[in-house]
Chains A and B, each alone.
Chain A
């Protein structure tokens, strides 16, 4: 949705829906405000978004378009550079803003600097940071849906399996409130016992630092940071997280940052709007109890 907002700033937007049995998704895409046309590529070859099959489809369609815009999700990051190379253009990764028809800003060095770059390529290939653009409305559009013929299955790759974490909790990248835990949580059971009740009270998503993920407290896809998820919720509560630059790169655009940490000098307090110094094992249950 954010990618559609970014694309709208460049010109007329055509959405491509590729998948197996993707009629419903195509109809939904047609309702999105700002989408002028929907192309539907319905084929078993697109069932699991394999880059080897999607990239030739997209590169082929690009004869009629000036640019390809994808969200900087794992799927977007997997497919878009493959499209760019097929078109012999440089991709502009993870843009934060559209400054001109071919000019964009993007973060470098873990978000410690913002580069303004101008593309000299004939076609644009861009991935968009989801938290940097407003989400396009899912209603109000009335685009026509046009089927496009599928390219042949590349035969290079096959999908084996997926393990997707099932959760009732708000998805991390779209949650309004996130409670995130770090290494100080000690182990998986303690993480669950301290962080989950607070997140439940606030109807919040749960995140984690790399240290907490590496220590096995929570699965990989909880990781917030330069190499994990980039989030920008209304409120980000960092519990037992020191605030390494790689972690800050994933959450410092949050509207309000609250830090609970026993180390008064932890770098997290330099970005936190509200800090509470003390032992998280007594403070967090107390906080949960008083909400």
Chain B
């Protein structure tokens, strides 16, 4: 198991903001089974200051994750919450938006560039057809797109140091969150398989095929 790529980008951005002096502390949060601790240690090795693991052996849906993060945010009062835009397993693309809704805070989704300017964060967002820039009152929630940054690798000394950084263990019940799923998965099937194609020897044959299809 490794960290979701969008979350690596989120951790990297938090660290860069700290390096710029606009962030004082970075708290990494994961909701999941005990082995999610390894993911948090990776975040600590990259540069997060401390971590919170909310333990649940069952799968937790985005809405419940968002409620847990809201609970943590109520306690920690972060100025900025950064999440990945989506997890590449469930592909839901929901948690950041839901956290923002539950906290009643603005959201900068699919961020391509972010800068903190006083009591606001300016977010350049990747949208269909181009880019959109919005200005959000802090505290705010930002979700990362692929091109926000290039995440760093944790160095061996930092991996060693990360082992002694604080990691708090919590449960969903600590935040009063019921993680019972709202969506029931009835079945999981393989997508339809494409039938094997052919290889053509040259451009002329390809042109003939395109003409057969009526596209040329």
Physical interaction between A and B: yes
State which size class the interface on B falls in.
Answer: 35 or more
Pick the most buried of B99, B122, B131: most chain A CB atoms within 10 A of its CB: B131
B46 at the interface (CB under 8 A from A): no
Whether B188 contacts A258 by the Cβ 8 Å rule is no
| Residues in B131-189 with C-beta less than 8 Å from chain A | 131-137, 140, 145-147, 181-189
Whether B93 contacts A113 by the Cβ 8 Å rule is no
Q: How many Å lie between the Cα of A116 and that of B188 in the bound state? A: 6
Task: State the majority secondary structure of interface residues on A.
Answer: mixed
**Which of these, A82, A202, A221, contacts B130 with CB under 8 Å?**
A221
A98 at the interface (CB under 8 A from B): no
**Which of these, A162, A234, A287, A290, contacts B215 with CB under 8 Å?**
A234
| B133 neighbours in A (Cβ, 8 Å) | 159-162
Query: A287 — nearest CB in chain B belongs to which residue?
Result: B203
Q: How many Å lie between the Cα of A111 and that of B130 in the bound state? A: 25
Q: How many Å lie between the Cα of A117 and that of B89 in the bound state? A: 15
Q: In the assembled complex, how far is the CB of residue A269 from the closest CB belonging to chain B, in whole angstroms? A: 7
Q: In the assembled complex, how far is the CB of residue B145 from the closest CB belonging to chain A, in whole angstroms? A: 8
A52 at the interface (CB under 8 A from B): yes
Q: In the assembled complex, how far is the CB of residue B62 from the closest CB belonging to chain A, in whole angstroms? A: 7
| A219 neighbours in B (Cβ, 8 Å) | 130
Q: How many Å lie between the Cα of A139 and that of B69 in the bound state? A: 45
| Residues in A76-134 with C-beta less than 8 Å from chain B | 77-86, 88-94, 103, 107-121
Whether B101 contacts A55 by the Cβ 8 Å rule is yes
Whether A90 contacts B61 by the Cβ 8 Å rule is yes
Query: B99 — nearest CB in chain A belongs to which residue?
Result: A85
Whether B182 contacts A159 by the Cβ 8 Å rule is no
| B98 neighbours in A (Cβ, 8 Å) | 81-82, 84-85
Whether A118 contacts B183 by the Cβ 8 Å rule is yes
Q: How many Å lie between the Cα of A103 and that of B90 in the bound state? A: 17
User: Interface with A: B10-18, B19-27, B193-201, which one?
Assistant: B193-201
| A213 neighbours in B (Cβ, 8 Å) | 147
| A113 neighbours in B (Cβ, 8 Å) | 188-191
CB within 8 Å for A115 and B187 given contacts A90-B182, A110-B88: yes
State which size class the interface on A falls in.
Answer: 35 or more
Q: How many Å lie between the Cα of A121 and that of B102 in the bound state? A: 17
Whether B207 contacts A275 by the Cβ 8 Å rule is no
Whether A177 contacts B215 by the Cβ 8 Å rule is yes
B129 at the interface (CB under 8 A from A): yes
B92 at the interface (CB under 8 A from A): yes
| B129 neighbours in A (Cβ, 8 Å) | 164-165, 171, 221
A73 at the interface (CB under 8 A from B): yes
Q: How many Å lie between the Cα of A140 and that of B22 in the bound state? A: 56
Whether A158 contacts B197 by the Cβ 8 Å rule is no
CB within 8 Å for A120 and B182 given contacts A85-B101, A274-B198: yes
A291 at the interface (CB under 8 A from B): yes
Q: How many Å lie between the Cα of A165 and that of B199 in the bound state? A: 36
Q: In the assembled complex, how far is the CB of residue B24 from the closest CB belonging to chain A, in whole angstroms? A: 23
Q: How many Å lie between the Cα of A269 and that of B200 in the bound state? A: 12
Query: B137 — nearest CB in chain A belongs to which residue?
Result: A156
B58 at the interface (CB under 8 A from A): no
Whether B134 contacts A159 by the Cβ 8 Å rule is yes
**Which of these, B61, B140, B206, contacts A258 with CB under 8 Å?**
B206
Q: In the assembled complex, how far is the CB of residue A84 from the closest CB belonging to chain B, in whole angstroms? A: 7
**Which of these, B100, B194, B202, contacts A252 with CB under 8 Å?**
B194
Produce 1/0 per residue, B84-97, CB < 8 A to A.
Answer: 01101111111111
Query: A100 — nearest CB in chain B belongs to which residue?
Result: B186
| A155 neighbours in B (Cβ, 8 Å) | 137
Whether B132 contacts A162 by the Cβ 8 Å rule is yes
Whether A227 contacts B85 by the Cβ 8 Å rule is yes
**Which of these, A85, A114, A156, A176, contacts B190 with CB under 8 Å?**
A114
- Can you spell out 22 A-B residue pairs with CB atoms less than 8 angstroms apart? A50-B134, A51-B100, A77-B97, A81-B97, A92-B183, A94-B93, A109-B91, A113-B189, A116-B185, A120-B182, A156-B105, A160-B135, A162-B133, A202-B216, A219-B130, A252-B194, A271-B197, A273-B194, A273-B198, A274-B199, A275-B198, A291-B216
Residues of A within 8 A of B (CB): 48, 50-52, 55, 73-75, 77-86, 88-94, 103, 107-121, 154-165, 171, 173, 176-177, 201-202, 210, 213-214, 219-221, 226-227, 229, 234-235, 252, 256-258, 269, 271-277, 283, 286-287, 290-291
Across chains A and B, which 8 residue pairs bring their CB atoms closest together, nearest first? A81-B97, A85-B101, A85-B98, A156-B106, A90-B182, A81-B94, A273-B197, A160-B133
Given contacts A252-B194, A273-B197, 5 further A-B contacts (CB under 8 A): A85-B63, A111-B191, A113-B188, A116-B186, A163-B130
